[in-house]
Structure 1
Amino acid sequence: MQLDDQLRRYFGTDDLTAVTPDAFAAGIEKMLVDFGLEKDRARRFGLWSLLHMLGSAPDLDVAFKDADDREAARNFMDMVARAQDVSGAGNAG
């Protein structure tokens, strides 16, 4: 799963700054539908990760039945939070 490919699939471009609010909402909706239908664990995790980065991921207890998958998602969220802290993105204000 390539990030650029996923962005083009759901938003029609790999440049999110070019996506209108309506197109963004439609892309998120399609991604959520695909996430709900996806059976492959790795692909589900990839979709959830992208949804998380875009602020639209379902809660872990809803998204993942498997405890290992929930733990992996928590680890991913921690990693993203640490990266934001290091880059200063988490220090707004």
Structure 2
Amino acid sequence: MQFDDQLRRYFATTDLSAVSPDALAAGIERMHVDLGMEKDRQRRFALWALLHMFGAAPDLDVAFKDAADRDAARDFMEMMERGEGD
């Protein structure tokens, strides 16, 4: 999954500043639907990570059945928090 491709898929642009609040909400809702339907663990994690960046990710115990996936998600969240501190 390429980040720009995902932005185009859910928001029809790679320029998030051009996305209206309603279009942003609709794109996030589509991501939630796709996350719920996705069976591939890697794609599921990528969707969850994108939702996390938008502040809209479901709780880890809801998003991931596998403990290793939840641990990877926690690692991702910690990495993002460290990056915000720079």
What 5-or-longer segments of structure 2 have no aligned partner?
A: none
Task: State the partner residue of 1:31.
Answer: 31
> 2: CA distance between counterparts of 1:26 and 1:83?
27
TM-score (norm 1): 0.92
Deviations 1:37-86 (A, max 9, x none): 00000000000000000110000010000000000000000000000001
Mark the runs of 5 or more structure 1 residues left unpaired by the alignment. Answer: 87-93
Identical pairs, percent: 71
* Alignment partners' CA distance in 2, 1:67 and 1:58: 15
**Equivalent in the alignment of 1:73:** 73
Structure 2 length-normalised TM: 0.99
How far did 1:31 drift?
A: 0.5
CA RMSD of aligned residues (A): 0.3
Q: Which has the higher contact order (CA 8 A, sep 6+)?
A: 2
Which residue pairs with 1:91 in the alignment? none
Larger Rg: 1
Equivalent residue pairs, number = 86
